[in-house]
Amino acid sequence: MVIDCHYHLDERLLKTDELISRMDAAGVRTTALMAPMVEPFKEPSPLLVSLLQFLLTHQSLRGIGKSLIANFDANGDINILGKISKIDKDPDNAPVFDAVRRHPDRFVSWIFVNPKGKNNPLRVYETWKNTPGAIGIKAHSFWHHFKPIELAPVAHELVKSGRPLLIHVGFGDEGDFTSLIKEVPGLKLILAHAGFPSYRQTWKMIKEQKNVYVDLSQTSYVGTGITKAVVSALGVDRCLFGTDGPFGFNASDHKFDYGFIKRRIERLFPDKGVQKRLLGQNFAELAGIQAS
What percent of the chain is modeled with pLDDT above 90?
A: 98
Please count the other Cβ atoms lying within 10 Å of the Cβ belonging to residue 128: 20
Averaged pLDDT for residues 158-167: 98
Average pLDDT for 80-94: 96
* DSSP H/E element including 143: helix 141-144
What pLDDT does residue 2 have? 98
Q: Is this model's pTM higher than 0.75 or not?
A: yes
For the chain, give the percent of residues with pLDDT over 70.
99
Look at residue 290 in the predicted model and tell me its pLDDT.
83
Q: How many angstroms separate the CA atoms of 280 and 200, rounded? A: 24
Q: Across the chain, what does the average pLDDT equal?
A: 97
Q: What pLDDT, in 10s, does the model give residues 192-235?
A: 999 999 999 999 999 999 999 999 999 999 999 999 999 999 99
Report the DSSP pairing between strands 78-80 and 83-85. Answer: antiparallel
**What are the DSSP calls for 188-233, one per residue?**
EEEESGGGTTTTHHHHHHHTT-TTEEEE---TTT--HHHHHHHHHH
For residues 79-90, average pLDDT = 95
One-letter amino acid of 253: D
The 10s digit of each residue's pLDDT in 18-68 is: 999 999 999 999 999 999 999 999 889 999 999 999 999 999 999 999 999
Nearest-angstrom CA–CA distance, 262 and 242: 8
Q: Do residues 191 and 169 lie in contact, with contact meaning Cβ atoms separated by under 8 Å?
A: yes
What is d(CA 176, CA 141) in angstroms, rounded to the nearest whole number? 9
pLDDT at 90 over 60: yes
Residue pair 84/78 in contact (Cβ under 8 Å)? The answer is yes
Res 99: pLDDT: 98
Compute the average pLDDT of residues 109-135.
98
Q: What average pLDDT does this structure show over 131-159? A: 98
Give the Cα-Cα-Cα angle 17, 18, 23 (nearest 5 degrees): 100
pLDDT for 292 equals 57
Domains observed in the chain:
3-287 (3.20.20.140)
The mean pLDDT value for 115-129 works out to 98
pLDDT at residue 291 tops 70: no
Whether residue 146 has pLDDT greater than 90: yes
Q: What is the mean pLDDT of residues 72-77?
A: 96
